[in-house]
Amino acid sequence: KNQVEQSPQSLIILEGKNCTLQCNYTVSPFSNLRWYKQDTGRGPVSLTIMTFSENTKSNGRYTATLDADTKQSSLHITASQLSDSASYICVVSANAGNMLTFGGGTRLMVKP
Amino acid sequence: GAVVSQHPSRVICKSGTSVKIECRSLDFQATTMFWYRQFPKQSLMLMATSNEGSKATYEQGVEKDKFLINHASLTLSTLTVTSAHPEDSSFYICSASETRQVHQPQHFGDGTRLSIL
């Protein structure tokens, strides 16, 4: 059964600090892994998308890593801002991209 | 960038009412659109896959007669919650990918908050 597990479930950090969110998956055959940011009451917005051959991808202060051997990914947020407060969802796709398995998300709160 | 527009953003209505939610891809064509439901503090749950010009594919446990999906064009899919009841109250989100693009992110609408009284 395809599964995506995220940790931690929730996280509180102070503004300006860095943090790393984790994603472990058992999805086969792997197509790509995506990180989304979802603000409360809004739809998810894509941050990064990585295929099997990509180890790291950055989008501003967000850097995602992928280890396809261990089936793990991380999302690192640098110099956090209050606007980073949101849920971060790891999504793994199989079978050429459109079969998505969603992680439960990590709810991040950045406090001043 | 690719934009998916969802309307309305919020609906409050009485039990027994049918509610239609629209999902439009504004600047790209989407052969396939997806409908999700999200309960508080939970992740998105796929309800159905909407295919332009053909019947939608529903996930196990989702009643097709309850959640009617119409995908009449490459830029528009609608979800109708028929005879809605309080247990149907949820956050409904649609998404779409550009046609025949594999490693492209799905673009999500901003969701519709449905509250049934």
For residue range B53-96, what is the model confidence (pLDDT) as tens digits? 888 999 999 999 999 999 888 899 999 999 999 999 999 999 99
pLDDT per residue as tens digits for the range A45-101 = 999 999 988 999 999 999 999 999 999 999 999 999 999 999 999 999 887 656 789
What does the pLDDT read at residue A39?
A: 94
Place of tokens 């790891």: A90
Hey, of B31, B91, B106, B110, which one would you mutate to test binding to chain A, going by the most A CBs within 10 A of its CB?
A: B106
Sorting pLDDT into bands at 50, 70 and 90, what band is B40?
confident
Q: Closest Cα to residue B66, out of B2, B117, B16?
A: B16
Sorting pLDDT into bands at 50, 70 and 90, what band is B36?
very high
What does the pLDDT read at residue A100?
A: 86
**Gap between the Cα atoms of B76 and B30, Å rounded:** 8
What does the pLDDT read at residue A96?
A: 62
Write phi, then psi, for B29 (nearest 5 degrees). Answer: -95, 140
CB-closest option in B41, B46, B110 to A43: B110
From chain A, which residues contact B within 8 Å (Cβ)? 31-32, 34, 36, 41-46, 49, 51, 89, 96-98, 100, 102-105, 107
CB-closest option in B43, B101, B111 to A102: B43
Sorting pLDDT into bands at 50, 70 and 90, what band is B31?
confident
Q: How many residues does chain B have?
A: 117
Residue B101 scores a pLDDT above 80 = no
Amino acid at B26: L
How many C-beta atoms lie closer than 10 Å to residue B73's C-beta? Answer: 13
- Quote the DSSP letter at residue A37: E
For residue A64, give the 3-state DSSP assignment: strand
B31 touches chain A (CB under 8 A): no
